[in-house]
Amino acid sequence: GAVVSQHPSRVICKSGTSVKIECRSLDFQATTMFWYRQFPKQSLMLMATSNEGSKATYEQGVEKDKFLINHASLTLSTLTVTSAHPEDSSFYICSAQPGLSYNEQFFGPGTRLTVL
């Protein structure tokens, strides 16, 4: 149980285009989902926290107009990188938490974004 999927696993896009990444909890309802960014050989950096039906909370330094997050249902959150540039190339990982009283996050397999 507690499986989280991400789609796509890899995406290559041209500079200036937008890319959408989906994060789904497959066998549980996730009241909260998190989006992380990981540069090569570095740790995970939290970008934002999203709660179903409300606006995402972004970490300091993360542009909310650049990284649009929508948590439309209890099993789906999406991250849209708008007007992508080469510096947005990175590994994006989502995680999902079943509930506020459940202090564990389950991670998706990640999405590698390459912006040409």
Min CB(42)–other proteins separation in Å: 7
- Residue 48, token pair as written in the block: 């934002």
* 43 counts as binding other proteins under rule CB under 8 A: yes
Only segment of 12-20, 32-40, 63-71, 77-85 that touches other proteins (CB under 8 A)? 32-40
Indicate the residue among 51 and 82 with the shorter CB distance to other proteins: 51
Euclidean distance between CA atoms 10 and 102, whole angstroms: 30
36: which residues sit within 8 A by CB, 6+ positions away? 44, 45, 46, 47, 92, 93, 94, 95
Neighbours of 114 (CB within 10 A): 14
Neighbours of 106 (CB within 10 A): 20
* 32 counts as binding other proteins under rule CB under 8 A: yes
Touching other proteins, residues 50-109 (CB under 8 A): 91, 93, 95, 97, 100, 103-105, 107, 109
* 35 counts as binding other proteins under rule CB under 8 A: no
Min CB(9)–other proteins separation in Å: 10
Euclidean distance between CA atoms 109 and 62, whole angstroms: 22
Judged by the rule CB under 8 A, the positions of this chain that interact with other proteins are: 32, 34, 38, 42-46, 49, 91, 93, 95, 97, 100, 103-105, 107, 109-110
